[in-house]
Structure 1
Amino acid sequence: MAVASSSNTTSAPMDMSTALLIRVDQSGLGDYKKIQDAIDAVPSNNSELVFIWIKPGIYREKIVVPADKPFITMSGTEASNTTITWNDTGEIYDSPTMAILASDFVGRYLTIQNTFGKSGKAVALRVSGDKAAFYGCMIVSYQDTLLDDAGRHYYSNCYIEGGVDFICGNAASLFEMCHLHSTAENEGAITAQQRSSPLENTGFTFLGGKITGNGSTVLGRPWGPYSRVVFALTYMSSVILPQGWDDWGDPSKQSTAYYGEYKCYGPGANRSNRVKWSHSLTNEEAAPFLTKNMIGGRAWLRPAPTHFKQISGPTISTFKAQGKP
């Protein structure tokens, strides 16, 4: 079932409350049985909100949202019963179970996992488009779980699991009230932020939330020389090593990387044995990291649509604002 073609423009939809509804249901009761088929049905240079509602199930698919298909939302009902899974390794940009290349993407209530295991790079989710937001998602693998590659991103109440560099890339991202879980067998690293120049307004901010896990791990190590990561108001379990951060064997990065902590708590938040080149932030220093300003979020974060157009006809149905048809 094809979606009617739209104009060749990627300007923002005029009506941000109404979306074209596409249902994915493995039982055959929806518009498509596969998620990728639903994405493929969205026209290039799409200019209206599209809401792909994914019925509960385990979807064994390798998903790509192309760069020319903005304004797509993919939503399950609960992350615990709606899983997108694949098993792949290799180059970091080729292994993802799900790759988001388009701008203005929203992911809601999904589990995205790569089951390859612990013997190589295995990305669950790659986010390379600008203005992407994820709500209540579970992102699970071991090495390079979340390739937070490029653009401005927002993660709210997500669960992210891995062992080695499991949040990596060079996006400007705010992780609000997220649960990070380390499964490192030896000494792992939660983040590997890739900022390469002081002129880049990129970095990872973790606001609220908690860190749990097994074994031991550092908060981050510099993939790029100007790597920037801040943890604020975060609970840290004893899984965090006392030194907190690592220079990845390159002492020259100690003077260029920016690693900060602000009012974190828990047994892993004790800064008495932290590396001297990390920062305990003052109220003034922390202030820029405590809002959505770093990602310009107030300009592009949008609520879930409240009205839906069926692809099978012109009827507009109204659903609750929570956005779950």
Structure 2
Amino acid sequence: MRGGGEELNGGGSYITAQGCNNSDDPSGFIFKDCYIFRSDPIWLGRNYRPYSRVGFADNYMENIIISEDWNASFIPEMKKQQSIVNREFTTYSETNCRGPGSDMWKRVPWEKKLSEDQANKFASTSSFIDGNGWLAQCRT
């Protein structure tokens, strides 16, 4: 993966900005088997609606990931009670990532810690985002 990320008023850059209006919305982003690099530090992602789902699985990350990795404070109601709301409204995860940017020791405490089985289901195009439905209809 190579790119600039999203710039927000000098407040940093983000690889993802994902959002859903409710918990029934099955959308989200998965980054699997990617090489993530850039010249400047970057956040893995942020929400732009109350619900958000993003997963990074089996990626190589250069030492550019901001250690707190996720930011969910862009929705006003989330700024008030960020640690509580984030657990309820977001699914942000990293599984089996490697490289100097994959060090998890300073990550946000509310990042989801998925089991290998959960991570495989989350990153599977057949089970996530109804992949057996619409993806099967796409041309290759």
Question: What range describes the TM-score normalised by the shorter chain of this pair?
Answer: 0.7 to 0.9
Distance in 2 (alpha carbons) for counterparts of 1:210 and 1:201 = 26
Q: Deviations over 1:9-28 (max 9, x none)?
A: xxxxxxxxxxxxxxxxxxxx
Distance in 2 (alpha carbons) for counterparts of 1:270 and 1:246 = 17
Q: How is 1:97-136 mapped onto 2 (pairs within 5 angstroms)? A: none
* Dislocated runs of 4+, deviation >3 Å: none
Residue 261 of structure 1 aligns with which residue? 94
Secondary structure at the aligned position of 2:37 is classed as strand
Q: Deviations over 1:147-205 (max 9, x none)?
A: xxxxxxxxxxxx55123269xxxxxxxxxxxxxxxxxx762111110112110111001
Supply the AA of the counterpart residue of 2:103: N
Secondary structure at the aligned position of 2:3 is classed as strand
1:203 is aligned to 2:36: no
Supply the AA of the counterpart residue of 2:25: E
Supply the AA of the counterpart residue of 1:234: N
Give 1:280 deviation, angstroms. 2.7
Residue 271 of structure 1 aligns with which residue? 104
Residue 31 of structure 1 aligns with which residue? none
Structure number with the higher helix fraction is 2
1:191 is aligned to 2:16: yes
Residue 136 of structure 2 aligns with which residue? 299
Note the aligned Cα RMSD (angstroms): 2.2
Aligned 8 A contact 2:4 2:38 in 1: no
Distance in 1 (alpha carbons) for counterparts of 2:86 and 2:7 = 18
Change (3 A) 1:219 1:282: same
Aligned 8 A contact 1:229 1:260 in 2: yes
1:285 is aligned to 2:118: yes
Supply the AA of the counterpart residue of 1:292: T
Structure 1, unaligned runs of 5 or more: 1-158, 167-184, 304-325
Secondary structure at the aligned position of 1:292 is classed as coil
Residue 164 of structure 1 aligns with which residue? 6
Q: Which has the higher contact order (CA 8 A, sep 6+)?
A: 2
Q: Deviations over 1:57-78 (max 9, x none)?
A: xxxxxxxxxxxxxxxxxxxxxx
Identity %: 30
Structure number with the higher strand fraction is 1
TM-score (norm 1): 0.36
Give 1:253 deviation, angstroms. 3.9
The partner residue of 2:45 within 212, 220, 234 is 220
Aligned residues: 127
Supply the AA of the counterpart residue of 1:283: E
